[in-house]
Amino acid sequence: MVLTLIGCVNYSLSLGYGLTFLLGGVWVISAAQALRTVRGVRVGPPVPESAPALAGQPLSFRVPLGREGHSAAPGGALRLRVRARQGEQTHTLSVAALASHPDGGLTLTLLDPRRGALNLEGWRLSGLDPLGLWSADLPLTAETGPGELRLWVAPAPEAQAPAPPTLFAAGHAETGRRAAGQDDLAGLRPYQAGDAPRLVSWRHAARTGALLTREYDAPAGQAPALDWAATTGLQGPEARLSRLCAWVLAARAQGDAFSFSLPGTALAAAAGEAQVAAALGALAAFGTPPAVPAPPPARRSLFSPTSRETLPAGPLRFSLLALAVALLPGVLRQPVWLTALLAAGLGYAALRAGQNQGAAPRGTRRLPALPAAALALVAVLGALGLNAAYGTLLGQDAGTALLGLLIVLKAAETHTRRDARLLSLLGLFLTSTHFFHDQGPLTALHALLATAALLAALGGWTLEDGEDHAADDAPAPTTGLRRAGQLMLLAAPLAALLFALFPRPDGPLWQLPIQQGAQTGLADSISAGEFSNLAQSREVAFRADFTGTVPAPEERYWRGPVYELYDGLRWTQLRAFFNPTPVQVFGPTRSYSVTLEPSGKPWLLALDVPVTQPRGTYFTSAFQAAAYPPPTRRTRYTFTQQAARLGLNEDERRLNLNLQLPPGQNPRAVALAQEWRSLAPAQRVQAGLDVFRSGFSYSLTPPTLPEQNRIDAFLYSSRVGFCEHFASAFTFLMRAAGVPARIVGGYQGGEINPDGGYLTVRQQDAHAWAEVWLAGQGWVRVDPTAVVAPARIRADLGTALTQPQATAARPPGTLARALLRVDALQNSWNTWVAGYDGTQQRTLLARLGVQGVGSAPYLLALAALAGLALLPGLLLARRAARPRDPLARSLHDLGARLGLPQHPGETPTAYAARAGAQFPGLAAELRAVAAEYNRLRYGRAGADPAGVRALRARVRQVRRPR
């Protein structure tokens, strides 16, 4: 999220902001849901269900669970993950979904305990959110003290252990000898601390005041002597402990008394569970338990694959499918061979998924694992191919294509759960890179679908495959997608808030070259045919929104590059520096905003002449609006336009430059123009326009002109051309007549969208016209194309080609109107979503009465609105805490209304009695509710819908006494 946010700030990726904030909202909502899962949950000390605890044998515990303020089964599923730390390793014991447990407990099983003290304080129950992205820890607690969370594990008993040696001990066989026992009173002895009170002679104590303890004996017999010295023939202390453990368990099974001795521990001969527990405890605590040997490090080689973990096939294939969805837009712009390579890599990973889970079916050949060297070779060859295709690896096209290739290679060598989770994170990052190429509604829709799939895949690696089937009937992928969609929907309000109010800088953090693909647009130089090629493209160049009335068609000249140098073939821009001359403005102002599509060019398109300079832009000495660095994304600029006179005091050097012509070129045109030198400059302009008033045709496919004397060939031979032909010939004539002149490129016209009230200017509206400099007037626009084909200026290109003298465009047809509606939606999207920037944000804050980003009102408003944005998620989580079963939900609601929750395992009748004792005035009603519940739950008729509704209505009538 931090990485993508930095990229969005630097490259002004508005949709990237939205995706980042959506993930941030999911992050917050899932954390809140995980915390709510464990809120109020009480975890009691684990109770072993089997005794004794032996090393190497499964050990089951019962963990009591309760919930303060809720019933034991708080609606839906309480997902808990149990972790135990042993040494330096953390083991996940199990993942359980608790839906409805009447006893309010959880059974955990430790599969392979080690000898020694099992410290349960290291165990944690972690509550999970619906996707398992967050966990909130619940430590196990003891009610009496820390010792309750420690359990001793005895050594594993030796198999087929020999019989132990014997000694004389208490028994039933009469041998004439006596030994300690419980049969007959043997005498009194002074009281010792720890003696049982029942053995104290209280009559003697009352008479003498001294405490004496009674001793008993029994006839002595044979009993096992479990002595450490009897195991000297075994190697190692663990083997000796195992034999002693086997002897203790054998004596326990026979019910015999036995004596027991270890270095530092001696137990007299006795029988019973206390004797067995003491002996096993001494065995468990003896010495230092052996450490678990660490597995030898795997020998890794670049030429031999390694497999460290067996991954379940279902989650892995779903992760690969989600990754394929994230890669999908690249198919439209990357080389075909790369698409085939990516598909092969994902297919290979999908086929190999789950092969290690069992034997392959008969007749099926296992796919070999690729060594790291092979994957590295594919990466190098792919990089070389992309460098050959794009000429670099640093541009947006080559860079994103290379990223996709590397991610697929990572998928092909995925062999751990960490790798599988990483695929989802890489897929999310890859999804954000598509915004470099497009930020339209379809790209946004794809980003939502890919994000949902990747989040669901990520959750599949935290929640065990299929563990939710107890609570959900849907398959795991469908369940994951549904939960991811719910989380994204809950996160949407917070994402929208941050999208609107998060600070947006006006400039990038740093500059890096971003390679642009071939895009349609105005060129740095023009010659015959340049603009006619653009006229065949209906791609949108820009859209313009006007605050007032839209200017008339003949006023819609969108100024772009200015071409002042001519070599006989091409007109190019002037790179020399001249001091800008002042602009004399007059008349009313007109405000409008231009949403410019990316072209990779620095110039901005504006009506003659802007009187305000948007932030990050400048005006050249040729009165051309430009931006540096050139905008590489869809950009919105706001201009204020006013009628003006340009260059009244133009530099003489520039005027002389705009009189220059290549020597020896076009003698007939030069001779014609020199005839006008005796006329006033304005009359020379009219004479030049009169040349085009008859005999010329407007066409997209004019004949090819020769490289030498092409102006003469056009004026006296072909007489068919497009706007650049007419502008070039007219400018040549003016210069030859002694009038400074140049060509201005840009766009003319635009289509008014009736649904949005804005102008759509397309590439086919590209146009070239001339400017002449007249004393007292400055640079004056002259368009010879308007003389040949007035419809080009007053109507549109299509009308100009068929009816050059028309004065209005033909009304749009049904299909054209439908396309205009779609374009209106696209324009709204560009304005308020894809083109939302710092300027619009400041305008929004001003309307809200907030001074600016970072101010105290801004921070207070952001905090308050963020709380409101999170409210739907919290309310839904609260609602989800209610049981799904309608009858259980009625009892849950009853406990909530009374503020007296039902205890774990408490029956409705018992709960009604307890609640009635606390609220005597409600006792009769509570008994009736319990009886109705029992009838619906356990009666032969079952829970009919009418009865359930009646029970709910009855519960709603219960009011807690004040």
Q: Which two tokens stand for residue 695?
A: 């005999």
How far is it, in rounded angstroms, from Cα 413 to Cα 694? Answer: 73
Residue 704 CA: distances (Å) to CA of 694, 711, 713 = 21, 12, 10
Choosing from 129, 438, 723, 892, the catalytic residue is 723
How far is it, in rounded angstroms, from Cα 175 to Cα 220? Answer: 6
Give the number of other CB atoms < 10 A from CB of residue 694: 9
Choosing from 767, 796, 823, 892, the catalytic residue is 767
The CA-based angle 45-49-55, given to 5 degrees, is 95
How far is it, in rounded angstroms, from Cα 267 to Cα 271? Answer: 11
Q: Is 582 exposed, middle or buried, given 0-12, 13-18 or 19+ CB atoms closer than 10 A? A: exposed
Angle between helices 441-460 and 814-829 (to 10 degrees): 60
How far is it, in rounded angstroms, from Cα 644 to Cα 642? Answer: 6
Q: 3-class DSSP state for residue 814?
A: helix
Q: Which of 235, 362, 368, 373 is nearest to 300 (CA)?
A: 373
Residue 725 CA: distances (Å) to CA of 172, 526, 710, 743, 850 = 128, 10, 10, 11, 54
Give the number of other CB atoms < 10 A from CB of residue 776: 7
Active site residue 783: yes
Strands 258-262 and 212-227 come out as parallel
Q: Is 572 exposed, middle or buried, given 0-12, 13-18 or 19+ CB atoms closer than 10 A? A: middle
How far is it, in rounded angstroms, from Cα 323 to Cα 406? Answer: 12
DSSP alpha helices (H): ranges in 298-395? 313-327, 336-352, 372-390
Residue 227 CA: distances (Å) to CA of 166, 180, 240, 268 = 10, 19, 10, 11
CA atoms within 13 A on the CB side of 66: 12
Cross-strand partners of 590: 641
What is the DSSP-derived secondary structure letter of residue 862?
H
Q: Which residue has the tokens 């290739």?
A: 405
The DSSP H or E segment spanning 216 is: strand 212-227
Q: Which two tokens stand for residue 235?
A: 């190697």
Q: Which two tokens stand for residue 644?
A: 């003006």
Q: Which of 388, 395, 497, 469 is nearest to 436 (CA)?
A: 395
Choosing from 468, 608, 712, 783, the catalytic residue is 783
Q: Which two tokens stand for residue 765?
A: 């509206």
How far is it, in rounded angstroms, from Cα 63 to Cα 65? Answer: 6
How far is it, in rounded angstroms, from Cα 339 to Cα 345? Answer: 10
Peptide bond into 74 cis (omega under 30): no
| Residue 116 contacts residue 153 (beta carbons within 8 Å) | yes
DSSP alpha helices (H): ranges in 222-299? 237-254, 273-285
| Residue 115 contacts residue 154 (beta carbons within 8 Å) | yes
- Which are the catalytic amino acids? 723, 767, 783
